[in-house]
Amino acid sequence: MSSPRRILSLWFPRLGAERCLRMARVPVLAPFATVVEVGNQRLLGDISVEASAAGLRPGQPLRDARAICPALQTTPSDPEGEAAFLRLLRRWAGKFSPWVSEEPPASLIVDLSGCAHLFGGEAALVAQVESDCAELGLSVRIGLADTVGAAWALARYAGQGAGSSRSGDAIDQEARATRSKAGRRHWTKGGAAPVVRDGVSQGARIAALGHTRAAIGALPVVALRLAPEACEALSRVGLRRIEDLWGMPRAALARRFGVDVTRRLDQALGVVPEPVSPARPPNVFALRISFPDPIGLPEDIEAGLDRLLPRLGEKLRTAGRGARRLRWELLRADQTRQVFELGLARPSDDPARMRPLLLQKLSAVAPGYGIDLMRLEADQTEPLMPRAHKGHFEAADEVSARIGAHTALDDLIGTLGARVGLEAITRWHPAESHIPEKSALTLAAAWSGVSETPWPSVNGTRPLTLYVPEPVHAPDTPAVPMRFRWRGQDHELRGAAGPERIAPEWWLDDPNWRSGVRDYWRAETVSGKRLWLFYAHGGLRMSGWFCQGTFA
């Protein structure tokens, strides 16, 4: 008999601020907050317990927070650092269950099915989680229930009632005696925001096995992970608590408020499954080096790279992988970081091919007060096929020579890609079409190899530049015009070679070729222009002369 499913939700409401406080070299006793930039505004992100006690709240403008609490200390928000810290917490939560998934930006979901008894029961396990988080200096809100949705709701909204959603937008609908209530702090649009309560006594919210309805029924509808617009619409018709939705017809509920409402409700009740997908342990190809004293000279930074690159190449070579993208992180003494990302045209484990790309970014390094730590990671890798083939010696030499012949070109593509981006560098491959504008495929050079298919032979010479056919004002006859007007200028013909007849692809309906068969001419004007003209004999469109390209 399988164990009943039990889900643990861990929410770290102060993750960004408490992560910075953990990294501080001296204890910070003053109110502390991270700052995020939204447009032209600077808003508070995560705040410490002292900042909450001072009356501050997340999302508050920084200037207002400074006016309320002049002693407030701030630091810029670091989403990448917080995501990395959440990954570390996921590894820590693996001590309770192997099924742990992340819910960015500050949550973990743990499937405790069959694991709670190893820690003395659910209450003892929750106490262990709170004790560990207290030692780590982290505030945590815990919810434990039969489903992911119910555990998520208990972790954030347990103990909160459903408030009214009326706001100043509907003040004209209120009676005169009640309009003054619109200014109260709890009268907020979309319902009351979750209140963060720190402390062990209020941290755990456990729903008894099989009692999900009773545990989440009194919670506000926002606890179902609904969009603010849906919560406001539900509150306006008096559906403020989750239990208010029990007896509502599902079809009418979905038709009026959206299918997301019924889907989230069914997920919370366990009617619709919501699996917990644990992150697969990644094969990390990363190395770092810490310096005893901060460095800042280019020579010292280059020396640090020279110590990391051979070890990274050896690690890739052992796993049979090649780096396709490199991530170079520099952690400064003021706890800020600078990140560079570079792509390679071909996967490689050769440090000699990675080093020139990294040195190109050396001039952009801003060491500031000095660099304490350097980290180099191959965050995108591909299988690297072996180049030493056993068998016929001449065949092995031929394969090695063919693979090595493109090394210089790949290095050039990687060097140019480090400056302009790999997506901006393209190459042409022959296509299976006799139509001039379809005779070549444009592919990204970094993700395509040298074509082994020969280019098809053509009857005439093709121009260097092709563009959409442009009308030429000339007599509507197949004979080459001696005088014509193109792009607002009059031209006189000096000579012409042709014609080269090209028929459309009869098995395709190409709108650009509905003018029928074309006769192409290489024309040279008295002014020296060399044009590629054609006469369309007419089909679904009228006949006439056009210009489609220019020769060098």
Q: Is the peptide bond before 454 cis (omega within 30 degrees of 0)?
A: no
Rg (alpha carbons) of the chain, rounded to whole number: 34
Contact 461, 552 (CB under 8 A): no
Contact 65, 36 (CB under 8 A): no
Angle formed by the axes of helices 15-23 and 79-93, nearest 10°: 90
Cα–chain-centroid distance for residue 360? 25
Residues 6+ apart with CB under 8 A from 502: 434, 435, 436, 517, 518, 520, 534
CA distance 121 to 114: 10
Q: What is the pLDDT of residue 386?
A: 57
Q: What is the pLDDT of residue 343?
A: 86
Total Cβ atoms within 10 A of residue 438: 14
Output the pTM of the full model: 0.54
CA distance 144 to 108: 12
Q: What is the pLDDT of residue 348?
A: 87
Q: Could you write out the DSSP letters of every residue in 118-159?
A: GGTSHHHHHHHHHHHHHHHT---EEEEESSHHHHHHHHHHTT
Q: Could you state, in chain order, the average pLDDT of each consecutive group of 10 residues for the chain (552 residues)? A: 84 94 86 93 94 94 94 93 93 92 93 91 92 93 94 89 50 38 37 41 70 91 93 92 90 92 93 85 85 92 93 90 91 91 86 89 91 92 64 53 61 74 78 80 74 72 85 90 91 89 83 85 91 87 88 83
**CA 179 vs CA 80, 162, 170, 183, 190: distances in Å:** 45, 20, 10, 8, 18
Residue 294: closest CA among 344, 338, 346, 330: 330
Residue 129: closest CA among 13, 210, 9, 223: 9
Residues 6+ apart with CB under 8 A from 205: 141, 142, 143, 144, 154, 155, 158, 159
Q: What is the pLDDT of residue 384?
A: 77
